[in-house]
Amino acid sequence: MPSETADLPAPKKKPRPNARRSGTIALLGRPNVGKSTLLNGLLGERIAITSHQPQTTRDRIAGILTTPEGQLVFHDTPGVHNAKNRLGQRMNELAGSTASAADVVVFVSDVGLTVPSHVRPEDLAILKTIPENQKVVLVINKVDKVREKPQLMDHLASWAAARDFAALIPMSAKKRDGIQQLHKVLLDLVPQGELLYPEDELSDRPVRFFVAELVREQILMRTREEIPHGVAVTIDAYEEPSGTSTKKKSVTRITLTIHVDKDSHKGIIIGAGGKMLQAIGTGARERAERLIGAPVHLDVKVRSTPGWFDDAARLVDLGYGDGAGEKKKPKRTVKSVKSAKKKAAAAR
Ligand code: GDP
Ligand code: MG
């Protein structure tokens, strides 16, 4: 006897409107247009260092944004510029290869204030390096600086003629205006698929990388002209607290060296009576404690390493290598501070 359900039609395959999406996004553009500010705005945590000085970002940083709709993995590239030395060349190569490997490129520019309808030739030159079949979203940043809205419209119109963009988004990264819209557009452009990284991961970079960056940020904030660009920071020792709960042992101890290009810069970084170095150390320690979510002890030294940014072997030593050593999964990566706090509260 046939079963009663045998004649029922097979259930239809339903489309999955709620399937998650995930993909990689490269942030590309001239130095100082606000790429790092935008990344920090998207992530809601200050992960990439920013400053008013150009060429602040030297390396590729992945920031990861996971929401119920999916996961976007961002690569913040160094701004493309005319390379004057080996470090500069390395930065441009990184930007180019990151752009072609990503699912979507976010090309960031800022509003031209002098000739509003003008698209800068440097922007067009960078745009040309992106393969034609690559999806590109154009972000015009710093619109908070424009008083006359028709000027902005003229500017956007000249950009629209430059390439077939997947979307064109005016934004103020600083005021977090337009960030939600960009997030939504990007989620629509990346493929459906499973998460690329665990849900609570914020970056695939190890914590020690960010601590070195925080020290560099303090130097960028506190010094001028050629000093910030002649500086590299290495982490010499990174001691995490052991499992025991005595107060002294719950401190993360980090020993690091600030490398300067010239002997004369050493004195400036140290400052009269060691005051400058003390301020750099305190500023970086406070930020590192927020990042790690626990007390930090920083031991900072200054060393003169002349010509480091033109010496290929030194660049590798100082962490600006060709990435060959980056394949190993880092031991500890930056988890969301919120999730670390949640876990700590649950353990109590
Ligand atoms: P990047 O070199 O492209 O990564 O640029 P940064 O993110 O380091 O920003 C460069 C400078 O532009 C910093 O001083 C930022 O505060 C500033 N900036 C970034 N976004 C905006 C914005 O939307 N409006 C204004 N007025 N300034 C911005
Ligand atoms: Mg940057």
Q: Which of 167-171, 241-245, 251-255 has the lowest average pLDDT?
A: 241-245
Q: Is 290 in the pocket of ligand 1 (CB under 6 A)?
A: no
pLDDT at 340 over 80: no
**% of the chain exceeding 70 in pLDDT:** 67
Neighbours of 333 (CB within 10 A): 20
Buried b (16+ CB within 10 A) or exposed e, 308-318: bbebeebbeeb
Same domain? For 56 and 182 the reply is: yes
Q: Amino acid identity, residue 148?
A: E
| Domain boundary residue, one of 189, 215, 244 | 189
Alpha-carbon gap, residue 231 to 226, rounded angstroms = 9
Q: Among all ligands shown, which has an atom nearest to the Cα of 51? A: 1
Same domain? For 180 and 56 the reply is: yes
State in Å: Cα 266 to ligand 1 middle. 29
Q: Is 31 in the pocket of ligand 1 (CB under 6 A)?
A: yes
322 — pLDDT class (breaks 50, 70, 90): very low
CA-wise closest residue to 182 among 329, 332, 35, 15: 35
Q: Is 269 in the pocket of ligand 1 (CB under 6 A)?
A: no
Residue 335, strand partner residues: 201
Residue 16 lies in a domain: no
pLDDT at position 315 is 65
Residue 263 lies in a domain: yes
Q: Which residue has the higher pLDDT, 332 or 58?
A: 58
Same domain? For 153 and 244 the reply is: no
Alpha-carbon gap, residue 96 to 28, rounded angstroms = 9
Q: Is the pTM of this model over 0.75?
A: no
For residue 288, what are the domain limits?
207-347
State in Å: Cα 52 to ligand 2 middle. 10
- Residue 245: give its domain's CATH number: 3.30.300.20
183 — pLDDT class (breaks 50, 70, 90): very high
CA-wise closest residue to 47 among 31, 64, 32: 64
pLDDT at 248 over 50: yes
Q: Which residue has the tokens 């910030």?
A: 228
Alpha-carbon gap, residue 81 to 90, rounded angstroms = 11
Q: Is 169 in the pocket of ligand 1 (CB under 6 A)?
A: no
Could you read off the pLDDT of 84-134 as tens digits, one per residue?
A: 666 666 666 666 777 888 999 999 999 866 655 678 888 888 888 888 889
Cβ atoms of 201 and 47 within 8 Å: the answer is no
Alpha-carbon gap, residue 175 to 328, rounded angstroms = 37
Same domain? For 136 and 257 the reply is: no
Ion ligand 2 nearby residues (CB, 5 A)? 35-36, 56-57
State in Å: Cα 146 to ligand 1 middle. 15
Q: Is 55 in the pocket of ligand 1 (CB under 6 A)?
A: no
Residue 239, strand partner residues: 253
Same domain? For 169 and 231 the reply is: no
152 — pLDDT class (breaks 50, 70, 90): confident
Q: Describe the crossing of helices 35-43 and 179-189 by its angle, rounded to 10 degrees.
A: 80
Domain count, the chain: 2
What's the average model confidence in pLDDT over 277-288? 93
Residue 9 lies in a domain: no
Q: Which residue has the higher pLDDT, 121 or 13?
A: 121
Q: Is 145 in the pocket of ligand 1 (CB under 6 A)?
A: yes
Q: Which helix (H) or strand (E) holds 74?
A: strand 70-76
Residue 244 lies in a domain: yes
Residue 67, strand partner residues: 70
Residue 15 lies in a domain: no
State in Å: Cα 253 to ligand 1 middle. 32
Q: Is 141 in the pocket of ligand 1 (CB under 6 A)?
A: yes
pLDDT at position 338 is 47
Could you read off the pLDDT of 264-280 as tens digits, one per residue?
A: 889 889 999 999 999 99
Cβ atoms of 174 and 167 within 8 Å: the answer is no
Q: Is 151 in the pocket of ligand 1 (CB under 6 A)?
A: no
Q: Taking all residues of the chain, what is their mean pLDDT, rounded to a whole number?
A: 78
pLDDT at position 230 is 78
pLDDT at position 250 is 80
What's the average model confidence in pLDDT over 236-254? 72
User: CA geometry: angle at 196 spanning 190 and 200, to 5°?
Assistant: 115
Q: Which atom of ligand 1 is nearest to the CA of 175?
A: 23
- Residue 150: give its domain's CATH number: 3.40.50.300
